[in-house]
Amino acid sequence: MNRENDLRERYIYAATRGLPRASRADIEQELRTLIDDLLEERCAGREPTEKDLRVVLTDLGTPAEIREKYNPRPARGLIGPDYYPQYQWALAVVLGALAFGVVLAQVLEVLTGERALGDLPLGLLGGIASGLGCGFTAVTLLFAFFERRGVKLERADDTIENLPPVPQHSELIPRWESIAGLAMCALMLLVFLAFPQMMCAVVDMGARMQRVTVFDIDALRAQWLWIALFGLAGMAREVFHLVEGRYTMRVLAADLGCAVVSALLACLIFLGKDLMNPTFLRVMENLGMNDVVMTFFGNFQVFLLGVILFALALDAVDSAVKVLRVYRNRS
């Protein structure tokens, strides 16, 4: 690709980034045609130079002005226009996951006899309302924080020299990964904070089947602040992936920062208080579990902490490898 084509493609990429995907390809083609027409008009039959292209692009306006033309939104607001498409995606995913989780948890309570069928509609209404309210607040505050703190999309609004490079396919962060991550964080918060009784074992007590919770619910809820912050740290990471859209050093810094914060919060959750339900441990012992199994359950929260720390470390290494590979391929 010659320098003129590279400059043209970088301008079109910067101008259309963040626009709705359904119309982005058409807008890109329209801009290419418009630029070609303006170059032909300016050059009057001679071969256009890079200087000619720069003049045409400057006359067209900055990428931000082009985006505003094709997708006008209020300049001032809690969530700015450059973030709004990603904000809509994140909000839809989180609210959808929370609504699904609430419905599933309430239905399971009815099926296990812990909730009367007649109480289901009211329970669903209250659970969904509170869940969606919390989810909406969390996602909105995260995006508002990123915008107010200057966590901006890479873009060039002032000069042609600042245009970002057009990313290769391997540099892009798959949107489905961020969506899946947001959904998992939302469901984790829902289970640990609203429905911890879902983490249980169903035990045959002879006359009837009984559910025994793995964790002491009161002890778990006493850790609600650290659990909420742990979930929000994970959501912040996925939101930043949606905003940035590709593997950059900023993504690596954000991933490492979130990993460190999440690791510290996990230690506070699982080392600060004995979370295991004594009744659960007694039931396991009464069922004749051997010493190895009992030792595992007795140290289950330490084991769970180890799994979380390993997953965080693995994710940080994976992010570092992908980002460094992108920069190595560019050089």
The total of other beta-carbon atoms located within 10 Å of residue 140's CB is 15
Rounded to whole angstroms, how far apart are CA atoms 260 and 254? 10
Q: pLDDT, tens digit, for every residue of 131-146?
A: 788 888 888 888 887 7
Q: Using one digit for the tens of pLDDT, what is the confidence trace for 18-71? A: 677 778 888 889 998 888 888 888 888 788 888 888 888 888 888 877 877 876
Tokens standing for 80? 């700015």
Q: Is the pLDDT of residue 155 over 50?
A: no
Q: In this structure, what token pair is assigned to residue 208?
A: 């009837």
Query: What is residue 22's DSSP assignment?
Result: H
CA 62, CA 73: separation in Å to the nearest integer?
16
212 sits in which H/E element: strand 209-213
Q: What is the DSSP string of 165-209?
A: PPPPGGGBPPHHHHHHHHHHHHHHHIIIII-GGGSEEEEE-SSSE
Structure tokens at 66: 């082009």
pLDDT digits (tens, 9 = 90+) for 62-106: 887 787 787 655 555 677 666 777 788 788 888 888 888 778 777
- Could you give the 3-state DSSP secondary structure of residue 154? coil
pTM given for the model? 0.72
Domain definitions of the chain by residue range: 1-72, 73-330
Q: Dihedral of CA 173/177/182/185: which sign?
A: negative
